[in-house]
Amino acid sequence: MELSISSEPPSSNLARNLLAEPEESNHLQEWKDWKWQLKNRITTLEELKTLIALTPSEEEGIKRSNGRLAMAITPYFFSLIDKTNPNCPIRKQAIPRIEEFSISTHDMIDPCGEDNHSPMPGLVHRYPDRVLLLITDACAMYCRYCTRRRMVGEEMPPMSIERFEETYKYIKSKRSIRDVLISGGDPLMLKTEHLEYYLKKLRSISHLDIIRLGTRVPVTLPMRVDKELVEMLKKYHPVYMSIHFSHPREVTSDVREACGMLADAGIPLGSQTVLLKGINDKPSVMKRLMHELLRARVRPYYIYQCDPVTGTGHFRTPVSVGINIIEKLRGHTSGYAVPTFVVDAPGGGGKIPVSPTYLISQAKDKVVLRNYQGNIFEYFENCSGG
Ligand SMILES: *Cc1c(COP(=O)(O)O)cnc(C)c1O
Ligand code: SF4
């Protein structure tokens, strides 16, 4: 079994398809076909130049980003780019820039220390009760800030049946594991029957409570979420999904439709968002994203501080920016719209929540608190009664 990605060169129709509004073109059928979208991803400077006026920094960035985490943009995701704006938040995520090749102090190849917590290739076991399974290195679109750029985007074949067998035996032998998070790369890049093979095996392990899928495909390739996929997933419940979103403009009608199908299949949907300079670091933008997510039936789960991965210095903000975003959300909008802001501790300490401080002091029998408006309240702890 191999990946569904075809290595055929893009069709010469690509530019025409991209320039025409999909609804107006008679290529709607193709446009809605996820395999067509993958086959026609924009991967070369020459193609991209015919579609958009590139900045010198982008041209140089694309020239240099060969091999690992090479540029690949689905026509669908490309259609969300504002072609007249070099600072378009969608564009910055998808098109490499020269800054990717400068290294800042404290940059690391594997900032979250995943390789040190790996009992076998493709498996990270950091927390006692859950494991992270890296099942493929392929994604529909390569995010320029990817935290796993050390291992993502070469589009190697996904984890083989033989390798998976070893992983399966490991999980089966450790009764403390109750949660498997399947990620990569992107597990929805596998053929449906291939993914099913793995889900079915995992589901046969009686001590597993939940199976989670970490994916960005519903955002970069929403047509991948088809009836066949959701019908398959719902056979292996409880299946949860964490979907990686970065900007409110990503929540299109296609994405809402994909999320609706997943939610209708009984899959609880959570979001994960990396805090990115110039993309979503304004509280107003993040709030709009959280509201769009709730409308799309996705519960905001995490905002991540951008990991100190080599080549992502230009995307990073101070931690205080994330804390301020939470400050501007909590109390000011539905609690469901407030995710947890976390820093994945460099060196492998796992995710550490960071939040504004609402507890002002803690004394015997009394705590002093402040609310979202900055008003001070006392709570007395003389709970003895009588
Ligand atoms: C993020 C992560 C998990 C899942 O963490 P939750 O907080 O339960 O979502 C598990 N393992 C690793 C290695 C992770 O990085
Ligand atoms: S979808 Fe995730 S794994 Fe893939 S390139 Fe983006 S951040 Fe990296």
Average pLDDT over residues 15-23: 57
Segment 56-85 shows an average pLDDT of: 93
Active-site annotation holds for 259: no
pLDDT tens-digit series, residues 123-158: 999 999 999 999 999 999 999 999 999 989 989 999
Distance separating the N- and C-terminal Cα atoms of the chain: 70
Catalytic member of 41, 148, 224, 287: 148
Predicted pLDDT at 103: 85
- Is 26 a residue whose pLDDT tops 70? no
CA of 227 to the centre of ligand 1 (A): 28
Ligand 2 atom with least separation from CA of 217: 1
What percent of the chain has pLDDT above 90? Answer: 83
**What span, in angstroms and rounded, lies between the C-alpha atoms of 123 and 151?**
13
Atom of ligand 1 lying closest to residue 131 CA: 11
What is the rounded average pLDDT of the residues 45-73?
Answer: 92
- Which domains are seen in the chain, by residue range? 12-98 (no CATH), 115-353 (3.20.20.70), 356-386 (no CATH)
Mean pLDDT score of the chain: 92
Residue 18 has what pLDDT?
61
Among residues 210, 252, 209, 236, which one has the least CA distance to residue 79? 252
pLDDT at 19: 57
Q: Which of the four pLDDT bands, split at 50, 70 and 90, describes residue 88?
A: very high
Q: What pLDDT, in 10s, does the model give residues 227-237?
A: 999 999 999 99
Please give the C-alpha separations between residue 30 and each of 23, 93, 139, in angstroms, as whole numbers.
11, 25, 20
Calculate the alpha carbon distances from 333 to 284, 336, 340 in Å.
Answer: 12, 8, 14
pLDDT in tens, 168-206: 999 999 999 999 999 999 999 999 999 999 999 999 999
Tell me what pLDDT residue 24 has: 59
Q: Going by CA atoms, what residue is nearest to atom 7 of ligand 2?
A: 146
Whether 146 is catalytic is: yes
Atom in ligand 1 nearest the alpha carbon of residue 342: 7
- Please tell me if the CB atom of residue 132 comes closer than 6 angstroms to any atom of ligand 1: yes
